[in-house]
Amino acid sequence: MGFITLTPQRRLPRFRFTIYPGSANTHELVLDLYLVHRYYKKTVLIVWDALPAHKGAERYFRAKHPDWFVFHRLPTYSPELNPVEQCWNEMKNERMSNFVADNVLVLREAAVVAATEIDKRADLLLTKFFKHSRLRL
């Protein structure tokens, strides 16, 4: 799961991600969103696609903690509108192109390095990704 945050004080974009074994499910997303709420301690805007796990987590928080998050869903099949998809493209096609992992741990380590490189250039790259998506930061 990848997400882009803005730092509270200076509103700098940051790229964050978590690797799950297999696909992320509702339970894992709920746990991650608890951590997001605990970190920011205020209402957070969540923009995401229509993955079933996203819908489940959204239903959970609307019922249990309706003031923690404001959810907006991207249209179905619209990766061009999602700046996180641009982060994945940057990781796969630029940072990890021609990379072949011997095992899952090596792949995980390479993904962390690639994501860290994106985050180091977040002010430039993420601004570009939002512009590509025609969204404002």
Is the model's pTM score more than 0.75? yes
Q: Are 14 and 7 in contact (CB under 8 A)?
A: yes
Residue appearing with tokens 């799950």: 20
Chain segment 6-59, per-residue pLDDT in tens: 777 767 888 888 888 888 899 999 999 999 999 888 888 888 888 889 999 999
Domain count of the chain? Answer: 1
- Structural domain boundaries, residue 91: 2-133
- Looking at beta carbons, which pairs linking 93-97 to residues 24 or more positions away fall under 8 Å? none
* pLDDT confidence tier of residue 78, bands split at 50, 70 and 90: confident
**Which pLDDT score is estimated for 137?**
66
